[in-house]
Amino acid sequence: MLEITFIPAFKDNYIWLLHNDTDAVVVDPGDATAVTWRLKAEGLALKAVLVTHHHPDHQGGIAGLLEEFDVPVYGPALESITGCSHPLQDGDHIDILGNCFDVLWVPGHTRGHLAYHGEGMLFCGDTLFGGGCGRLFEGTPAEMLHSLERLAALPEATLVYCAHEYTEANLRFAMEVEPRNRDTAKRAAEAAFQRLRGKPTVPSTLAEEKRTNPFLRCCQPSVITAAQKKDPSAHDPVSVFAAIREWKNHY
């Protein structure tokens, strides 16, 4: 039985720790020291490292971990990942402490970005956030929208373990896009309360994201109308997505 906890890093990163009673796997270890301290505190043996993409806050701790632990590193074959011993592509399957996870290629934020889905859990790095999505550093709006649609097609009960605590700010923007969305307003209030208490707002569920995340709602009339106020030519899902992503970039 896997247990999932987070290791906070930097300003707002979450390094996810998957473990049983004795063994552990980490996802996107940007900080080796934080991971090592947690493993020692809980008496866990590191068995593998998973990486979603190449940005330093997601892989910067790998070199330090490999100095202390001889473990496999799984990451996107299309990107340069420190110490990557198992380059992965779309459709691959990996074993995480006896549990099967599917590898999904979800480009947009970066060219080779991967997500890992299994056991009702989704580790999606910087592709899908609570109430938002990642910036398009290397991909196109069409690529990112397709990636988000692919994630949204997973079972609605799937728990979304994103890599940053952005939910409160994302939902403020979501309310600008859909000011009459009661689900978004309720979730925004709950997220603000959680942050006041110093509690994380993640994981969410895909069902919750589909009700409140404007980047998963590009076919909804309310989102289309909002996008057209920024770009009158926004009519199809890709142009609607591009308009609200650009709006969010400057929000």
Cα–Cα–Cα angle for 75, 121, 140, rounded to 5 degrees: 55
58 counts as catalytic: yes
Catalytic-labelled residue, pool 28, 31, 53, 54: 53
Q: Is 90 considered catalytic here? A: no
CATH number of the structural domain spanning residue 103:
3.60.15.10
Output the pLDDT for position 1. 81
- Give the full edge-to-edge strand order of the sheet including 114-118: 93-96, 99-105, 114-118, 121-125, 159-162, 204-205
Please list the rounded mean pLDDT of every run of 10 residues in the chain (251 residues).
95 98 98 98 98 98 98 98 98 97 98 98 98 98 98 98 98 98 98 97 98 98 98 97 98 91
- Structural domain that includes position 150: 3-249
Which residue of the set 28, 54, 57, 113 is catalytic? 57
Distance in angstroms (rounded) separating the CA atoms of residues 111 and 137: 8
Task: Give yes or no for a contact between 128 and 209, defined as CB atoms under 8 angstroms apart.
Answer: yes
Active site residue 146: no
Q: Can 164 be counted among the known catalytic residues?
A: yes
Residue 117 appears among annotated catalytic residues: no
Q: Which of 58, 70, 117, 183 is catalytic?
A: 58
Q: What string of H, E and C letters represents the secondary structure of 125-159?
A: ECCEECCEECCCCCCCHHHHHHHHHHHHCCCCCCE
* Known active-site residue 235: no
- What is the model's pTM? 0.97
| Furthest C-alpha separation in the chain | 57
236 is known as an active-site residue: no
pLDDT recorded at residue 50: 98
Catalytic residue among 19, 54, 113, 126: 126
pLDDT at residue 122, as a whole number: 98
For residue 22, count other CB atoms closer than 10 A to its CB: 11
Catalytic one of 19, 54, 55, 113: 55
Report how many domains make up the chain: 1
Which one from 54, 113, 117, 164 is the annotated catalytic residue? Answer: 164
